[in-house]
Structure 1
Amino acid sequence: MNIRIILAGATAACVLGLAAQAQELKFANFTPPFHTINASVIETLNAAISDATGGDTSVRGYHGGELGAGPVEQYVRAVQGVADMVWGLPGYTSSQFERTMLVELPDAIPLDKPGYESLWAAFDENLADEFPATVPLALWTSEPNIFIMKDHDIRSPADVEGLKLRVAGATSAEVIEALGGTPVQMPINQVYNALQTGLIDGVVTGASTLNDFKLDEVANSYTLGANLGRLSFYTVMNQGAYDSLSDEARAALDEVAGPNLSQIAEEAWDAQAEDAMSKARESGDNTVIDLSEEEAQAFSDAVADVVDTYVADVGGEAALAAMRGE
């Protein structure tokens, strides 16, 4: 037999063998590839696992809802194996994450306290059962919420009365109602059009959305200083996919996951928020309101009953205490 044919066959067999051993972990991302999640979480995971396995195992982001449109079904995609890894917001399926969402409450934790620290402090004893059939890789929060408005300046709870504000979940809806506003629940990727067309007057969320979802193009008034809570996020992995990893890949994942990856994600959100607000202040065509302590307290007083009721309803006293380090 021709030696060239033999060598060609051997080479093909080797290539096929290597291909069979290679494992690509699918990460479902419902946002565009320029979103903060890509560099902070997806690329971090890929670098850690690829380096540890010599490229045999990698993480690939499927962006813009390529593995399924919309953020609401993200957790289910991981459980069902549509994706190996996903990220999402507990607020979109708030009935599953009742205690996790305590971190989102106004005044749950101080404005300057890292949210990821609070979530992991409460996780083992209070939150773990809210994440069935998955391995949580990261839990973190956004920067503190602010008012992002179009043609309305918010200086007191009275300024919210009668306005339509987008909310992410049931808890934030009750907060808006307590302030006298009308909550409108929708995914964040619909907010741009809703603000532009007047379907909503504003949104209570973190300033990072000004960059990540271009809300700076349609909003023109921002109010900072009230402790209106923050958004929480998760990255989880299908349990079966985790169990199928090689020893090297699992060790690399375990090393980077947890508080380490969560800190990277949260600091990326914070950096985006700082950049976005710096641009908003410098643009010259925005109103930026920094509340005094007294003005901020008025918002806390207005929503205090909502916070107390929610904590009691979900039996969240122990979880909230853990989050606060009490």
Structure 2
Amino acid sequence: MNMIAGRLALPTAALMLLTATTASAETLKLAHFVSPAHVVTASVVDPLVKGVAADSNGTLEIKVYPGGELGAGPLEQYVRTLQGVADIAWGLSGYTSSQFPKSMIVEMPGAMPAGMTGYQMLWNAYEKHLTDEFPGTIPLAMWASEPNIFIMKDRVIHTPEDLKGLKMRVSGSVSGAMMTALGATPVQMPAGQIYNALQTGLIDGVVTGASAVNDFKLDEVANSYSIGASLGHIMFYLVMNEAKYNSLDDVQKAAIDKNSGIELSKLGEEGWNALAAETIARLREDESNTVVDLTAEEITAFRVIADQVRTDLIAAMDGAEILATMQGQ
């Protein structure tokens, strides 16, 4: 009789353990506004989701809501995190440039020294200079895109004069300042609207990284690409609601910490750069495209203007110390 009772007790104990584990499990909502095929998935989202699940022993799950499922507006990503609509969100600093003036120094043309990365610059300066730009959240990753290029429809860019009077889509205030200095009219819009804007002639071209050509199928409406001008980069962030993070237990927090920060940021930047290189190689193979590698003389003409834009922007915000910290000085 005791043996039978013991055998019956074993499944009951196992069931109780399973119930306790299930009850303590937590699910976080991660929101972004692009398709699951976007580079952000393989480079940032998947490593975070898989790493957190493994290192929390299954007690913490991240459920991903792509394509604006938790809200269609790309500009509201940060606010959704603050409001708790999403626990984690991915976004572009440039979409709300006024919130991130110091962080967006990393976007400025010529700000990133040779041999340094955007994620290094951002984390170098985070504790000392940037925390106030992330109220109510914890940055899980911060990184920069590959160098921006000109992506055009029916226009070929060789010199600054070629931009005069053109309508150029920009992602934020930094690239907007650069286009203004080149005599173009900056038009800010989310990346998902670029395709139709190029197709209909609302804009003449785009300043962004080559990876966007792949992610948003821009090669279906663009046909000219100029590479080598000093046009800066684009900054991205992945942030988590601070109160939600603080509500997690120690094991769950440790799982988040282990799979975020500079290492996750590194994966993001490397993913963007790799996709950009692949995309440019593919564009070169298509004879219907014009791919311009600017000459040294042409690059210099753009750099002179870009350097002045950066100097003016840094002076206007008294940002010399922040830039120096970013650069590890």
Q: Which band: TM-score by shorter chain?
A: over 0.9
Matched residue SS, 1:45: helix
Matched residues in 2 for 1:317 and 1:206: separation?
Answer: 26
Matched residues in 2 for 1:128 and 1:38: separation?
Answer: 26
Matched residue SS, 2:232: coil
- Contact persistence 2:52–2:259 (CA under 8 A): no
Partner residue of 2:316? 313
Partner residue of 1:220? 223
Matched residue SS, 1:73: helix
Unaligned runs of 5+ in 1: none
**Residues 113/290 of structure 1: CA separation in 2 closer, same or farther (3 Å cut):** farther
Matched residues in 2 for 1:280 and 1:112: separation?
Answer: 26
Q: Which one of the candidate residues 109, 117, 138 is aligned to 2:120?
A: 117
Matched residues in 2 for 1:141 and 1:289: separation?
Answer: 23
Q: Single out whichever of 197-206 and 51-60 deviates more from structure 2.
A: 51-60
Deviation at 1:10, TM superposition (A): 9.2
Partner residue of 1:236? 239
Matched residue SS, 2:186: strand
Deviation at 1:11, TM superposition (A): 9.0
Amino acid in the other structure paired with 2:138: V
Q: Which one of the candidate residues 51, 55, 58 is aligned to 1:55?
A: 58
Amino acid in the other structure paired with 1:180: G
Matched residues in 1 for 2:78 and 2:198: separation?
Answer: 28
- After superposition, give the CA deviation of every residue in 1:186-232 in whole Å (9 maximum; x if it has no partner): 10110011111111111010000011111111111111111210000
Matched residues in 2 for 1:76 and 1:316: separation?
Answer: 26
Matched residues in 2 for 1:80 and 1:164: separation?
Answer: 35
Partner residue of 1:65? 68
Deviation at 1:106, TM superposition (A): 1.0
Alignment of 1:291-302 (within 5 A): 291-302=294-305
Matched residues in 2 for 1:59 and 1:227: separation?
Answer: 38
Partner residue of 1:324? 327
Matched residues in 1 for 2:222 and 2:166: separation?
Answer: 15
- Contact persistence 1:126–1:318 (CA under 8 A): no
Deviation at 1:170, TM superposition (A): 2.1
TM-score normalised by structure 2 residue count: 0.93
Alignment of 1:256-267 (within 5 A): 256-267=259-270
- Contact persistence 2:230–2:306 (CA under 8 A): no
Deviation at 1:19, TM superposition (A): 3.7
Amino acid in the other structure paired with 1:210: V
Percent identity among equivalent residues? Answer: 52
Matched residue SS, 1:222: strand
Amino acid in the other structure paired with 1:164: K
Deviation at 1:138, TM superposition (A): 0.5
The alignment status of 1:31 with 2:3, answered yes or no, reads no
Partner residue of 1:108? 111
Matched residues in 2 for 1:73 and 1:20: separation?
Answer: 32
RMSD value, Cα: 2.0
Unaligned runs of 5+ in 2: none
Matched residue SS, 2:110: coil
The alignment status of 1:134 with 2:137, answered yes or no, reads yes
Matched residues in 2 for 1:122 and 1:44: separation?
Answer: 25
- Contact persistence 2:88–2:238 (CA under 8 A): yes
The alignment status of 1:20 with 2:23, answered yes or no, reads yes
Deviation at 1:245, TM superposition (A): 1.7
**Residues 198/305 of structure 1: CA separation in 2 closer, same or farther (3 Å cut):** same
Q: Single out whichever of 66-75 and 297-306 deviates more from structure 2.
A: 297-306
- Contact persistence 2:152–2:224 (CA under 8 A): yes
Matched residues in 1 for 2:260 and 2:10: separation?
Answer: 43
TM-score normalised by structure 1 residue count: 0.93
**Residues 113/291 of structure 1: CA separation in 2 closer, same or farther (3 Å cut):** farther
